[in-house]
Chains A and B, each alone.
Chain A
């Protein structure tokens, strides 16, 4: 089935009951304007598709509505008709990109940087400084693949803070210039020092845990490319498939058979999406927590766990929860599991003010549970929720709780 037909079928199932709207994190923070809620997105998508089908064009300005969706899928799990508004938004982005109207320059800028420089900010060579003094097994067919996700957070936090101070139009104008010159993007990509140090420490903790578990692996250092997850999330499907082929060939050329991922976005891309869309993308993909086999202390600390949407809503990946329960008392926020509340991170580069409002709300929800520490298992969630000293990445806590 082609994309247009698939989208029409999905949106025509909707009867506007509004269940999805009530759990959509973006709606209240965009002033309760229906277009910025899940129901509104499905509605304007359906209207646009009908118009596209009959006239060949889309006249509605649907870009901000569709691109502001977090794709958290909270909407999907309450829809009684089985519509996935998050998936509708993702697919509509592909329509928008192909129609060449309503495109977002910031998205175009990121995409071109990924394609040309193998990194969303065009700074691939800066992603490996954390590993300078680590010995990797250069002959191993197992690859530690960071995709640059933890490292990028120091840069994206800085950029989104600047963007947050500008209006959307100014940001779009700047992006329209930078999108043709991704090499210039690196000039304004300045890391937040403390976030960079923290993220590098987390990466080293993960390596420590894997090595202590007896796992040997290689690492691509400065050649390590980004995973391409953004290409999929932003709806650049042709580019995503081509990028997947590039990754496949790179991994094959290095004799890689097994890949260890560190974050939910990269994990989903390599484990689920590329095998679905790219021929012969047949690697064994593991999240690092699946490979760690270490004795942990059991304590009385109360951990409030924020589940990453891409683990709980896009996949059924509960491994982090098992570790947290082994170490202490697990507390889940009221919205957890299939009714999870996003950290706001996916909107960080395109709609930083929205992302900040949502992350503030989620942080409040997590703090209200009264735990000793908040734990995340995703660099994007970590960067967005890191609003005080009680927020930790799961790898940091596991390392602390290792039996000496």
Chain B
């Protein structure tokens, strides 16, 4: 491949071709390994992206855009040979408008960095994927990331007001804007959210922000029965309580935190619910007590209530790093943790969790169950040796069954990680189940309009 044109655009130092420089881009946080890129390009402004895309479209060069490289489904690695477009140098926060409640940030800004900036103004950007320390504005928009606070604030799609996008032919478009309401035809901003880099390159975003909760406290409650844990959440919601965070984890998950972070849990506890309640300073105790009383009406093993910021921060960080911590529970190094990510309505949680537990036993797999249970999101992390074909068949079958359980319970096969390489079959399964395979045809047609030569993130989603 002739790289001279790319070098002219971004400079020699920003076109990486040495093997040692490009191989780290064959991996993201998923268990997939991508193709070795011909080159990694590191543009710094939208015009450079535009020029790069024009060349790629002209020469039919496959492009995968990479933000923080924290994808769990393989959406930020190359499924076919091509170049990686790293957005790392798009690292500026351009505008902070507190009175209008928005912030303008470049695509490569990390979410924790963004929130550290906003906290100085008493505000925050609520989407909070567990990987927020590494995840970027652009990447989280591309996967419609959810996270811990989605229980109260919803996923990323609720918080994106507008975008700057470079199309595969190099055209730069602006979608949406700086206002909360807008009614001007098809919502192209919404279309870009969750499109996983298949339609265009997001270079900049206008994001809605919110005031930080005045105060919050935490209830940690332990269960023996998975169904009771599920019932606790639906009971809270039935009584009108929306937690700031409602996380769930099983014994394997708790053990992994003990092994990596030294945090101990009651020995007889099989399941933990971690529930944060936000409120004004004056009414926090009352709200915490209300929630605690409801939870006590379920069959609990124990409960702890705290408002200690340090204690809450330690456990919060442990929860955010849970996926990686689970590696400590592998039987051998090199074994992978493959992530399931489904969602169901809160009222279906007890039945869903019970069905998943039964399915795990049927397939004879080691699976850690946890998730953002406040919005019905359950992660089923499977410990697997990817070189063991018999085991991998069972893993794939279990993943399909997990998706079907979600669908039978009126949920979805993918909650917040996207489709990437991993869930292509599950995406079909969802539309097949809903007798709506036409949706996939429509999506393919949309893809053709944006990207007629199919150069953007080929091999993902479809």
Do A80 and B337 have beta carbons less than 8 Å apart?
Answer: no
Find out whether the CB atom of A32 lies under 8 angstroms from the CB atom of B88. yes
Please tell me if A337 contacts chain B, counting CB pairs below 8 Å.
Answer: no
Nearest-CB residue, chain B, relative to A61? B20
Assess whether A238 is interfacial by the CB under 8 Å rule.
no
Number of CB contacts from chain A to chain B under 8 A: 106
B334 near A60 with CB under 8 A, answer no
User: Which among B142-150, B266-274, B321-329, B416-424 touches the partner chain?
Assistant: B321-329
Is residue B70 contacting chain A, with contact meaning CB distance below 8 A? yes
B348 within 8 A of A: no
Known: A18-B29, A32-B88, A78-B133. A13 touches B333 (CB 8 A): yes
Contact among A16, A32, A80 with B89 in the assembled complex (CB-CB below 8 Å): A32
Nearest chain B CB to A42 CB, angstrom units: 9
Residues of A within 8 A of B336 (CB): 15
State which residues 280-310 of B face A: CB under 8 Å. Answer: none
Which B residues lie within 8 Å of A40 (CB)? 24
Interface positions, chain A 27-59, Cβ under 8 Å from B, are 27-28, 31-35, 39-40, 43-44, 47
Tell me the minimal C-beta distance from B387 to chain A in angstroms: 14
Interface string of B12-31 (1 = CB under 8 A from A): 01101011110111011100
Residues of chain B contacted by A81 (CB below 8 angstroms): 260, 321, 324-325, 327-328
B42 touches A32 (CB 8 A): yes
In the complex, the answer to whether A17 meets B323 with C-beta atoms within 8 Å is yes
Q: Which of B14, B18, B68, B337 contacts A15 (CB 8 A)?
A: B337
Cβ of B131 and Cβ of A19 under 8 Å apart? yes
B333 touches A12 (CB 8 A): yes
> A27 contacts which chain B residues (CB < 8 A)?
88
Q: Which residue of B lies closest to A59 (CB)?
A: B19
A80–B40 Cα gap in the complex (Å)? Answer: 27
Judging by beta carbons under 8 Å apart, are B24 and A15 in contact? no
Nearest CB of chain B from residue A169's CB, rounded to whole Å: 15
* Bound Cα distance A34, B87 (Å): 12
Which parts of A91-131 form the interface with B (CB within 8 Å)?
Answer: none
Per-residue CB contact flags for chain B residues 232-259 toward chain A (1 = under 8 Å, else 0) read 0000000000000000000000000000
- Inter-chain contact B321/A334, CB cutoff 8 Å: no
Q: A308: shortest Cβ distance to chain B, in Å?
A: 23
Q: Count the B residues whose beta carbon is within 8 Å of the partner chain — how many?
A: 43
Partner of A33, one of B21, B320, B325: B21
Q: Verify A13–B133 contact, CB threshold 8 A.
A: no
Contact B20 A13 (CB under 8 A): no
**Chain A 177-192, CB within 8 Å of chain B: the 1/0 string?**
0000000000000000
B429 within 8 A of A: no
- A19 contacts B20, C-beta separation under 8 Å: no
Restricting to B24-55, which residues have a CB under 8 Å from any CB of A?
A: 24-25, 27-29, 40, 42
* A22 and B68 in contact, given A28-B91, A65-B20, A78-B133 (Cβ under 8 angstroms): yes
Q: A16-B29, A22-B110, A80-B260 are in contact. Are A34 and B24 (CB under 8 A)?
A: yes
Nearest to A62 among chain B residues (CB) is B20
Q: CA–CA, A81 to B327, complex, Å?
A: 7
Give CA–CA (A199, B268) in the complex, Å: 59
Closest to A80 in B: B321
Q: Within 8 Å CB of A28, what residues of B?
A: 91
Complex CA–CA separation, A28 to B109 (angstroms): 12
A80 touches B324 (CB 8 A): yes
* Interface pair A16/B27, CB less than 8 Å apart: yes
Assess the A33–B260 pair: CB atoms within 8 A: no
Name the residue of chain B whose CB is nearest to the CB of A31: B13
Cross-interface CB contact of B323 among A61, A79, A80, A82, cutoff 8 Å: A80
Shortest distance from the beta carbon of A11 to any chain B beta carbon, whole Å = 9
- Chain B residues contacting A43 (CB-CB under 8 Å) are 23-24, 27
Docked CA distance A43–B21 (Å)? 11
- A31 with B42: in contact, given A19-B131, A81-B260 (CB under 8 Å)? yes
Q: How far is the CB of A120 from chain B (nearest CB, A)?
A: 28
Give every chain A residue within 8 A of B21 (Cβ-Cβ).
Answer: 33-35
Q: Does A284 contact B (CB under 8 A)?
A: no
Interchain nearest-CB distance for B429 vs A (Å): 26
Q: Assess whether A44 is in contact with B324, with CB atoms less than 8 Å apart.
A: no
B residues in contact with A15, CB < 8 Å: 29, 323-324, 327, 336-337
Given A22-B110, A80-B320, 19 additional A-B pairs, CB 8 A: A12-B333, A12-B334, A15-B324, A15-B337, A16-B27, A16-B29, A18-B70, A18-B134, A21-B68, A22-B112, A22-B113, A22-B134, A31-B13, A32-B91, A44-B20, A79-B321, A80-B323, A81-B327, A82-B260
Residues in A lying within 8 Å of B, measured CB to CB: 8-9, 12-13, 15-19, 21-23, 27-28, 31-35, 39-40, 43-44, 47, 60-62, 65, 78-82, 334
Q: List 10 A-B contacts (CB under 8 A).
A: A13-B333, A15-B327, A15-B337, A16-B27, A17-B134, A18-B70, A21-B69, A22-B133, A65-B20, A80-B323
